[in-house]
Structure 1
Amino acid sequence: MERPARLCGLWALLLCAGGGGGGGAAPTDTQPPVTNLSVSVENLCTVIWTWDPPEGASPNCTLRYFSHFDNKQDKKIAPETHRSKEVPLNERICLQVGSQCSTNESDNPSILVEKCTPPPEGDPESAVTELQCVWHNLSYMKCTWLPGRKTSPDTNYTLYYWHSSLGKILQCEDIYREGQHIGCSFALTNLKDSSFEQHSVQIVVKDNAGKIRPSFNIVPLTSHVKPDPPHIKRLFFQNGNLYVQWTNPQNFYSRCLSYQVEVNNSQTETSDIFYVEEAKCQNSEFEGNLEGTICFMVPGVLPDTLNTVRIRVRTNKLCYEDDKLWSNWSQAMSIGENTDPTFYVSMLLATPVIVAGAIIVLLLYLKRLKIIIFPPIPDPGKIFKEMFGDQNDDTLLSPGCGETRSNPLPWHRS
């Protein structure tokens, strides 16, 4: 009797262990799929998916929801029954959702349920192309685009925009044309806080008649930022170096900008460009009120020639994601004396002529001086010949007869 009793006890223990194991394994079983998955669009480009918990889920399961977009991008496991994404709606966007009992991605979720946004209406070739937006000096945004291939030339475009500081979607009123491009500008300064890293502007361009396909764009406020040009305050030479002082454009911190200084020299006709990452006015050479002023020392500049300085700035990656857009060049400022190059050319051409003339005059003067200092020696033969020749040729006419009579020498007279 003892042995059967032991067998029964062991069997009961195995059953209890099996039952306990079954109860602990239940949450790891595959759960039913989620229900009532739906999708909606808020603002212009904010897509929101919502769903209900699965029916018949295990009571011992702490539900988590596994979701991802097309091509298994942006996987996420979370307890919330909703998910949103800010995405341009130029094509269909799909989300797949499943339920599971853990946060481990390796666990098998339930059957995935998919829900997609409807595709945009209209011919894809009628949508505008090259839609780009730039935030100018953190003050206004300028968007430009090209008409679609299958678009009527008289199409009236409309641009709508939205960002988190707005209570509603607004329409851009300032539509203009620049050659083939069409553009629109709108003010963008009233942000709720100065921390705009997570903010973006949602854009859509379409026509009121509904003949073209809408084109969407999302512009992060940490990129596509173009500052205004800086303002040069002062140039001066000190110890053989050129010092430059300027002020930054408004709305920007100095640590968020990089600089480029261009120096043009009139004598060498060359342009030297200096890249400046950090420029502080800490040297004793800089005087006056330096608040909000940026300083830079340019080495090796010729002080006795005309030097023209220009500066431009761009955002850096310390504060922004984009560092490609340079501002326009600042208004140029010059220091030094402007020497006319035509004067040097004229002197270069005239110098040989002047030297040649001086040599000719000198030679003539030396010849004259030689005659004065060393006069020519008379030729006695010529002198006697002239004297005696003149006497032999001296004849007298006979009075009244027209005959000539020579005067005999004294020793021929009788």
Structure 2
Amino acid sequence: MDFLSVNPPQDFEIVDPGYLGYLCLQWQPPLFLDKFEECTVEYELKYRNIDSEDWKTIITKNLHYNDGFDLNKGVEAKIHTLLPPHCTNGSEVQSLWSEATYWKSPQGSQETKIQEMDCVYYNWEYLLCSWKPGLGVHFHTSYQLFYWYDGLDHATQCPDYIKVDGQNIGCRFPHLEASDYKDFYICVNGSSDSYPIRPSYFIFQLQNIVKPLPPDYLSLTVKNSEEVNLKWSMPQGPIPAKCFIYEIEFTEDDTTWVTTTVENEIRVARISNESQQLCFLVRSKVNIYCSDDGIWSEWSDEQCWKDDIWKETLVFFLTPFAFVSLFVLLVTCLLLYKQKAVLKTVSCVT
């Protein structure tokens, strides 16, 4: 067979459907593909944010591919056509690359962007995001938050802003139906009468920013002179028991150490059976079986056990004293009884 070649895909472009970073890379089949009608043509697609060192690579038979990108940065992609070896006498044939780029036109200076964006998914139930205004922006600057994830028809504005002195500095989200384990896209942009405000883009997966409630109902039991049993209840809420990891801070007199467990109970060895006080507290986080990361809860209230030595000492001294007092009382009673009997006898004789 003569030397074979194939053209690159046509009309390769990166399209923004308005989903705050979820872009569509699309193309048309190459020219003169009819002579390879019996071949299954494939496409090798590579793409990345421009400052990234690594390309993502996809082999597909389709004419489009969707993925999420950080729109704070530019996007670049390239694609070529592949002919499989069975169509080309055993050697794979590749076309030249076709390239495309995408930039959100920058508006406003870098300093006008919001600062310190912080989003927490409290107890896997409700999402709250907060931020600080850009550096040096006027008091009348207004910020708006928009969000989107797969399942929404369009990007949606925050319905419940958190305000300070009339300025938006956060958002309380409504119940987010079927939003877990999906990319969650956020854009915070703004407006000002004096100058343009540069937007900020963020991508989260909500299960990775969950902050559970702390455990409660702690109990500490000293089993014997060597072992202590620590137990607590699973935090309230919708998070499954299998999704928790716990961090325990245990204090024995003046010595403190920390350990972790996936169970809501742990046995620890006492350092000394002469300990006067044992205390512990615990906090929780979503573990690696349910998320890539998580946020530690607040610490629980402290639970302590104290060795009441003063009571033992008091009992040690009072017990023999009580026996002695009882013996003296019995002897006294006996003597009084005998004395009464003698007096009665004398009275009868007289």
Q: Same fold (TM over 0.5)?
A: yes
**For 1:60-102, what per-residue CA distance to the aligned partner results, in whole angstroms no more than 9, with x for missing partners?**
2532222222567112221111121211211221222332323
3-state DSSP of counterpart to 2:16: strand
Q: CA deviation at 1:213?
A: 0.9
Q: Offset at 1:40?
A: 2.3
1:132 pairs with 2:118 = yes
Matched to 1:190, the amino acid is E
Q: Is 1:252 aligned to residue 239 of structure 2?
A: yes
CA distance in structure 1 between the partners assigned to 2:275 and 2:29 by the alignment: 81
Offset, 1:139: 1.2
Q: Which runs of 5+ in 2 are unaligned?
A: 311-350
Q: Please, what is the CA RMSD of the aligned residues?
A: 3.2
Secondary structure (helix, strand or coil) at the match of 2:117 reads strand
Distance 1:77 1:300 in 2: 59
Share of identical aligned residues, percent? 23
Match of 1:185 in 2: 172
Shift of 1:50: 1.8
Helix, strand or coil: the match of 2:71?
coil
Q: 5 Å matches for 1:312-391?
A: 312-323=283-294, 325-336=295-306
Counterpart CA distance in 2 for 1:150 and 1:229 is 38
Aligned residues of 2:14 and 2:100 also touching (Cα < 8 A): no
- Contact 2:120–2:211, Cα closer than 8 Å, also in 1: yes
Query: Which of structures 1 and 2 has the bigger CA Rg?
Result: 1
Which of 185, 204, 224 in structure 2 is aligned with 1:202?
185
Structure 1 residue 51 displacement after superposition = 1.8
**In structure 2, what is the equivalent of residue 223 of structure 1?**
208
SS at match of 1:49: strand
What per-residue deviation string (whole Å, max 9, x for no partner) do you get for residues 32-61 of structure 1? 541363522342221112222122235225
In structure 1, how many angstroms separate the alpha carbons of the residues matched to 2:187 and 2:96? 37
Indicate if the aligned counterparts of 2:26 and 2:64 stay in contact, CA closer than 8 A.
Answer: yes
Separation in 1 of the partners of 2:108 and 2:136? 11
Contact 1:203 1:216 in 2 (8 A): yes
**1:223 partner letter:** N
Residue 161 in structure 1 maps to residue 147 in structure 2: yes
Residue 146 (structure 1) aligns with:
132
- Paired with 2:266 and 2:54, the residues of 1 have a C-alpha distance of 51
Q: State the alpha-carbon separation in 1 of the partners of residues 229 and 286 from structure 2.
A: 23
Counterpart residue number, 1:308: 279
State the aligned residue count.
Answer: 292
- Higher strand proportion: 2
Retained in 2: the 8 A contact 1:234–1:246?
Answer: yes
Cα distance in 1 for residues equivalent to 2:304 and 2:95: 71
TM normalised by structure 2 equals: 0.72
Q: TM-score, normalised by structure 1?
A: 0.62
SS of aligned partner of 2:111 = helix
Which structure has the higher relative contact order (CA within 8 Å, separation 6+)?
2
* Partner Cα distance (2:224, 2:176) in 1: 44
1:311 is displaced (CA, Å) by 0.8
Distance 2:214 2:308 in 1: 26
SS in 2 for 1:59: helix
Unaligned runs of 5+ in 1: 1-20, 280-293, 341-414
CA contact (8 A) 1:32 1:56 kept: no
Give the whole-Å Cα distance in 1 for the aligned partners of 2:62 and 2:255. 60
Alignment of 1:393-408 (within 5 A): none
In 2, the alpha carbon distance for the partners of 1:109 and 1:204 equals 38
Paired residues of 2:248 and 2:281 also in contact (CA < 8 A): yes
